[in-house]
Structure 1
Amino acid sequence: MSVLIEVCIDSLESLPIAQRAGAGRIELCSSLATGGLTASAGYMKHAARIATVPVYGIIRPREGDFLYSSDDVDIMLEDIHTAKLAGLNGVVIGALGADGKIDEVAVKAMINAASGMGITFHRAIDHCSAPFEALEFLMAHGVERVLTSGLAKRADEGINTLKDMVKLTQGRLSIMPGAGVSPENAKRIIVETGATEIHLSGKTTRPSLMSYRNEKATMGSGESDFAITVTNPDTILHMVAALQ
């Protein structure tokens, strides 16, 4: 059985690294440290231009929960339009109501906006109060796949739920395990769940090429602005080997 490896990235630098190492699809993000946010228009365009595998852009306007205001939804619809114009192959979407059930109105609007593109529903499913009901809705509306940890912190801890999801959706929608996936646990996850694709970042850091550094000032909550996050090709290569 062939297993597709999706790699999530948050820089253009990582895209060719992930492709060369064996990624079969790219999830294009900014800010992986916050779970992945929508990429800029320029980033989308350049990714589409250099990609040799399908690229799906996450549509997530902010970090935090998946309860979105009408303004948030308007932003996401505009971002889907931007992704389509940029030439991306698909989008990664999700929205919930305050009760934890899928926000059918918002998700339908995003699906309609993405007409002609592939659609993944992201890990909002793992915060959903009725995940199997949500899967039925997503299958009925032509969503290709769901990225999920099986409602657990890590996919290897959610194997039983992932297996039930695969059993329910087989032939109609792909369940893609993600979160805490590594070359060490990927084969077990695939074998025990029956999934045919898997998701990881495989990220590491590289040192900045700047010779001048003011370490006192930082732009965010990280320890240093001089450690640049990139895809680790060795992790992806080991994943490919582990799944063969």
Structure 2
Amino acid sequence: MINVEVCIDNIESLFTAQKSGAGRIELCSSLALGGLTPSSGLIELAVKHASVPVYTMIRPRDGDFLYSSFEVEMMLKEIHSARSLGAQGVVFGVLNEDAQIDKDILKSLMRESAGLGVTFHRAIDCCRDVHSAVEAVMSAGCERILTSGLADNAYDGRAVINQMVKQSAGRLSVMAGAGINSDNVGMIIKESGICEVHLSGKKLRASHMKKITACGKLPEFLSINVTDADNIDMLKSAVNPF
């Protein structure tokens, strides 16, 4: 059975995702920036209303995954906060200046994450040696890797994802993510051997405001990115045979 994780950055999308059969939620802010740490208010409310596990993104800023000591301190505090608010897991990734896993920082983050599930996210797709990176993540004790197989999307990276699945040999789950939809998910599953997929399934919906002010005429105020039930439903149907 294929588990479908849906990444969201607003409370409206939580209800849509779980109603459509999401098996897990990756909770973020700012999906347009690749996903950042969500607010404590969003975490608390999502956990309160979630019927599936909620994994909180731990990412203090956009851009690369080479973090300063101050940013690492922020990440540690954010993990502590996510646990105290009831999240079941956390999602993070850390690299060094040589584009490999920063094992020391990862060890610190894992220590703070004791008792939580941990997904190492697509920072791994920026590594120059993916084999060593997978070994480092497994050695650290992460339960899952989210990856597009070092490609722009999981379909193009499916051969590398398959190599990662074989390397991990069941010691952790390799979850395919980036560019996954109902049209390509079947081929990705068949050729990579994964049992988890990750997507946002977003659409733009119009504002529910009845009157648009002069300020509201700016494009960013006229629509909202939310999870689309049809996208998740079609993907769930596509993975049912597996």
TM-score category, normalised to shorter length: over 0.9
Q: Distance in 1 between matches of 2:161 and 2:6?
A: 19
Q: Distance in 1 between matches of 2:217 and 2:75?
A: 30
Question: Which residue of 1 is the match for residue 24 of structure 2?
Answer: 25
Question: Which residue of 1 is the match for residue 3 of structure 2?
Answer: 4
Residue 104 (structure 1) shift = 1.0
- 1:75 and 2:78 equivalent? no
Answer yes or no: is the 8 Å Cα contact 1:146–1:175 preserved in 2.
Answer: yes
Residue 212 (structure 1) shift = 2.9
TM-score, scaled to structure 2: 0.96
- 1:189 and 2:185 equivalent? no
Question: Which residue of 2 is the match for residue 228 of structure 1?
Answer: 224
Counterpart amino acid of residue 236 in structure 2: V
Post-superposition Cα deviations, 1:16-39, rounded to whole Å, max 9, x if no partner, equal 110010100000001110100000
Post-superposition Cα deviations, 1:45-86, rounded to whole Å, max 9, x if no partner, equal 111111000110010011111010000100000000010001
For residues 128-147 of structure 1, the aligned pairs below 5 Å read: 128-147=127-146
Q: Distance in 2 between matches of 1:160 and 1:45?
A: 38
Between the two proteins, the alignment pairs up a number of residues equal to 240
Counterpart amino acid of residue 23 in structure 1: A
SS in 1 for 2:155: helix
Q: Distance in 2 between matches of 1:170 and 1:205?
A: 39
Q: Distance in 1 between matches of 2:8 and 2:69?
A: 28
> 1:237 pairs with 212, 226, 233, which one?
233
Distance 1:69 1:169, change over 3 A: same
- 1:125 and 2:124 equivalent? yes
Residue 158 (structure 1) shift = 0.4
- 1:165 and 2:167 equivalent? no
Residue 215 (structure 1) shift = 5.4
SS in 2 for 1:228: strand
Counterpart amino acid of residue 225 in structure 2: T
Post-superposition Cα deviations, 1:161-183, rounded to whole Å, max 9, x if no partner, equal 00100000021011101000001
Q: Distance in 2 between matches of 1:234 and 1:147?
A: 23
Q: What percent of counterpart residues are identical? A: 48
SS in 2 for 1:108: helix
Q: Distance in 1 between matches of 2:124 and 2:172?
A: 14
SS in 1 for 2:189: helix
Structure 2: which 5+ runs fail to align? none
TM-score, scaled to structure 1: 0.95
Question: Which residue of 2 is the match for residue 154 of structure 1?
Answer: 153
SS in 1 for 2:84: helix
Residue 226 (structure 1) shift = 1.8
Q: Distance in 1 between matches of 2:13 and 2:169?
A: 32
Q: CA RMSD in A?
A: 1.3
Structure 1: which 5+ runs fail to align? none
Residue 130 (structure 1) shift = 1.9
Answer yes or no: is the 8 Å Cα contact 1:215–1:224 preserved in 2.
Answer: no
SS in 1 for 2:220: coil
Answer yes or no: is the 8 Å Cα contact 2:216–2:222 preserved in 1.
Answer: no
Q: Distance in 1 between matches of 2:214 and 2:156?
A: 38
